[in-house]
Amino acid sequence: MQRFRINYAKMDALRYTGNLDMQKVWERYLRRAALQVAYSQGFHPQAKIQQACPLPLGFLSGVEIVDIWLDDDLIGAQELTRALLNTPQPGIDIRSVESIPLNAPALQSLVVSAEYAVELLEPKASADLPARMQLLLDASELPRQRRKKSYDLRPLIEGLSLDQRDESRWPRLAMRLSAREGATGRPDEVLLELGLEPAQARITRTRLIFS
Partner 1 sequence: MEPSEIERRLERILPTVQKPGRYTGGELNQIVKDWQSIPLRVALAFPDIYDIGLPNLGLAIFYESLNARSDVLAERVYLPWGDMETAMRKESLPLYSLESHRPVADFDVLAVTLPYESLYTNTLSLLDLSRIPLFSSQRSDDQPVVIAGGHAVYNPEPMAPFIDAFGIGEGEELIHEMIDAVAAWKQAGQPRRDLLIRLAGIPGVYVPSLYEPEYHPDGRLSQHRPLVPGAPKKITKRILATLPPPPTRPIVPSIDVVHNRVSVEIMRGCTRGCRFCHAGMVNRPVRERPVEEILSAVSQALKNTGYEEVALLSLSSSDYTKILELVEQISQQATQQRLVISLPSLRIESFSIDLMEKLRGSRQGGFTLAPEAATERMRNIINKPIAGEQLLETARAIYSRGWNNIKLYFMIGHPSETLEDVQAIADLCKAVIAEGRKMIGKRATLHAGVSTFVPKPHTPFQWAPCDSMEQIEAKLNLLRCELRGPGLRMTWTDHRDTMFEAWLSRGDRRLAHVIHEAWRRGAKFDAWQDFFNYELWLDAFAAAGLDPGFYTHRKRAEDEVFPWEHIDPAVRKSYLLKEYLNSQSGILREDCRKHCHGCGILPAFARVRREHPGDIWKCPEVPRHTARTLTPIGEG
Long-range CB contacts (within 8 A, 24+) of 126-131? 126/170, 126/171, 129/162, 129/171, 129/194, 130/162
Residues 58, 129, 133, 139: which binds partner 1 (CB under 8 A)? 58
Q: Which of residues 21-50 bind partner 1 (CB under 8 A)?
A: 21, 24-25, 27-32, 39, 43-45
Instruction: Count the Cβ atoms, other than its own, within 10 Å of residue 22.
Output: 21
Query: Site residues for partner 1, window 175-204 (CB under 8 A)?
Result: 198-200, 202
Q: In the complex with partner 1, which residue's Cβ is closer, 111 or 120?
A: 120
Size of the site for partner 1 (CB under 8 A): 30
Query: Which residue, 136, 149, 152, is CA-closest to 191?
Result: 136
CA separation (Å) from 84 to 26, 102, 117?
A: 11, 21, 28
| Span 64-123, contacts to partner 1 by CB under 8 A | 89-91, 121
Residue 196's SS3 state is coil
Least Å distance, CB 134 to partner 1, is 27
Return the H-helix or E-strand segment holding 82: helix 77-86
Residue 171 sits in the site that holds partner 1 (CB under 8 A): no
Query: Is residue 14 involved in binding partner 1 (CB under 8 A)?
Result: yes
Q: Which residues are near partner 1 by CB under 8 A?
A: 12-14, 16-18, 20-21, 24-25, 27-32, 39, 43-45, 57-58, 89-91, 121, 198-200, 202
